[in-house]
Structure 1
Amino acid sequence: MTADPRAIKIGVLVPYTNTNLEPDMMLMRPEGVSLHFERLGDYDVDAIPGADQMARLGASDITETLRLICGVRPRAVLYGCTSATLTHGAGFDRDLSARIRERSGAVSLTAAGSVVAAIRALGATKIGFSSPYVGQINDQAVAFLADERIETVSRADIGRDLGNYGQGELSPDEVFDLAMRVNKPQVQAIVLSCTDMRSVEAVERIEAATGKPVVTSNQAMMFALCRALSLPRPKAAPGRIFDLL
């Protein structure tokens, strides 16, 4: 008897202007899993997504969002915004994950927590950090990782303030160039943070060019999900991190 290809249901919470998390997760979807998305709001679509706005998103009430996604009876719920918890710190990220788990009864994984877990799984302690964020969020991200005993030895951003849609409109070639800017000799892994940046499409090219493993927000969430639920390696998931499953 053939196993049900949609037996395991996964809920994913997505910022409402994000256009790349859903296609990335569908690309990396493991066999036997169906993905179900619910959108998060409470930020100004026309404002530059700075630290205050992202912190507001992270602290927003997601009671109704969770009620809706729990309608599919998910085995796991993924919180798909990295900067929303990077701006609050590692303790807040762990607390949010615990609250989602308590309210949903499902395995709970955040983007930021998954990035940390992937870096640790690779055995890396020194990373290059690239993102499309404004400067203050990058400062907070470096502090977040430092709290988790991960040292950022080089970092790069896109060099201009991007709006909520601008982050998602960066091409994979621009993401590749951004990653190459942090490829210093002491870097053990390259981190591309942001669930709306088209990083997954650039992973294999970056790893081939640098000889170093790459961790992206969306890829890290899928890795953490597969590990948490003992799922098989997704056929289309890129990157050395999936060799560890």
Structure 2
Amino acid sequence: MIRIGVLVPSSNTVLEPELARLADGVCLHFSRVRVTRIGVDADAAAQFDSAAMVGAAELLADAGVDVIVWGGTAGSWLGVRHDLSIVSAIEAATGVPATTSTLALLEAARAFGLSRTVLVTPYVAEVVSEIVSCYAESGLEVSGGEHLGLSDNHSFGLVPAGTLQSMIASADAPVMVVCTNLRAATVVDSVEASGGPLVLDSVVATLWGALRLAGVPVSLPGGGALLRSGALRADLQSLCAWLLSETAADRITVRLDVPEQGLHVDLAAAEAVGPGMRRIAGDPSLDQRALNTVRWLEAQRRLLVQPRFGPDPRPPAALIEVYGVNAQMLGPVSCGSEMAGWVSVHSAVERTWSAADQEALSLASAQVSELLKSYQGS
């Protein structure tokens, strides 16, 4: 059984019970660090000094934990470098791999290919402003959101879940709930299931990031899309980035039908794009299974290599006219006897796909199939 050590802000009353609810089959151990007030002044920042973290982490290491996670989001306003320094200090002192809630939350945003988000926080305006700046440095635009204007950390945990649900459901873009002392994890499933936005909650991300660090193929209920499919998406994002580099293509996408993880081919599960290329992942306008190219792929079960678009199978006009594709390769992804999806390699110009390009796509398609097997067994 995986053992996760969690450093908890001392006045936090939400993180422990919510992690226990979500972490089926995981052994959790907790240690506390004194945190009572959230602000941007020097005294507030001093609560998050790495020396205090290290002392609490050493106590967790005595329990033989597999990973240690700092379960606070101060790095969201103190900066990613602050959290990386905490991670380094903990790992140097304990020899145990470490991460933080903020690092996990930003990794989750990358797993879903987010470039824009809405924030929901309990914080005062000055703290929110610092979060916006810090996230911009990580390539994440923050536009809008709802904030409670509170600074007493204990009071965050008293905010009713219904209040948080209303704050989240009104968003017009994916939501990041930044604070591990808000009861938002309890409403993530209902918001997403009712057609609301994707919700990346800090408590859920804390568990997700710790399990990722421990090498566990995470697919758990109760934490929305992040716990259900976020880990698979993160692995697929890494694979897309690798294939983009190997082929020097302009866009890579992975499309999968995996209902138990909420994945459908009409929305790409992962995407990597080169400079100047428009993203296609969030466009659900085409019935992908009905496309000529996909029908060919389903029948042939081998690479479709198109240096240019001439004879059948022709791609949809939107691929050329809207998304600027003039050559492509498609690689089928098998799951048992079924074609669960495919990997697409797009070029903005006509090009001859080399044997090395085709070999890289074949390898990527096979790796996606192996990933599906590993997550189905999780």
- Aligned-partner SS, 2:29: strand
User: Within 5 A, what are the aligned runs for 1:40-79?
Assistant: 40-41=33-34, 43=35, 45=36, 48-52=37-41, 53-59=43-49, 61-62=51-52, 63-79=54-70
5+ residue gaps, structure 1, are: 1-6
Following superposition, the deviation at residue 162 of structure 1 comes to: 4.7
Measure, in 1, the Cα distance between the counterparts of 2:192 and 2:44. 30
Instruction: Provide the residue aligned with 1:224 in structure 2.
Output: 209
Instruction: Provide the residue aligned with 1:3 in structure 2.
Output: none
Identity percentage over the alignment? 24
Letter of the structure 1 residue corresponding to residue 9 of structure 2? P
Larger Rg: 2
Instruction: Provide the residue aligned with 1:244 in structure 2.
Output: 230
Paired residues of 1:30 and 1:232 also in contact (CA < 8 A):
no
- Aligned-partner SS, 1:169: coil
Measure, in 2, the Cα distance between the counterparts of 1:239 and 1:123. 16
- Aligned-partner SS, 1:58: coil
Following superposition, the deviation at residue 229 of structure 1 comes to: 2.1
Can you list the C-alpha shifts for 1:46-72, whole angstroms capped at 9, x where unaligned? xx5322254222225223212211110
Measure, in 1, the Cα distance between the counterparts of 2:180 and 2:95. 24
Paired residues of 2:13 and 2:157 also in contact (CA < 8 A):
yes
Measure, in 2, the Cα distance between the counterparts of 1:40 and 1:236. 29
> Which fold has the larger relative contact order, with Cα–Cα distance below 8 Å and residues 6 or more apart in sequence?
1
Aligned positions, number: 228
Instruction: Provide the residue aligned with 1:116 in structure 2.
Output: 106
Instruction: Provide the residue aligned with 1:4 in structure 2.
Output: none
Instruction: Provide the residue aligned with 1:88 in structure 2.
Output: 78
Measure, in 1, the Cα distance between the counterparts of 2:136 and 2:196. 24
- Aligned-partner SS, 1:129: strand
Following superposition, the deviation at residue 210 of structure 1 comes to: 4.2
Correspondence 1:14 to 2:3? no
Which segment is superposed worse, 128-137 or 84-93? Answer: 84-93
5+ residue gaps, structure 2, are: 232-378
Can you list the C-alpha shifts for 1:73-98, whole angstroms capped at 9, x where unaligned? 2110010110x222321211222122
Letter of the structure 2 residue corresponding to residue 226 of structure 1? L
Segments ≥4 residues shifted beyond 6 Å: none
Paired residues of 1:70 and 1:104 also in contact (CA < 8 A):
yes
Which segment is superposed worse, 220-229 or 203-212? Answer: 203-212
Measure, in 2, the Cα distance between the counterparts of 1:117 and 1:190. 14
User: Within 5 A, what are the aligned runs for 1:173-184?
Assistant: 173-181=162-170, 183-184=171-172
Correspondence 1:215 to 2:207? no
- Aligned-partner SS, 1:51: coil
Paired residues of 2:5 and 2:28 also in contact (CA < 8 A):
yes
Letter of the structure 1 residue corresponding to residue 157 of structure 2? G
Measure, in 1, the Cα distance between the counterparts of 2:95 and 2:40. 30
Instruction: Provide the residue aligned with 1:194 in structure 2.
Output: 179
Measure, in 2, the Cα distance between the counterparts of 1:191 and 1:87. 14
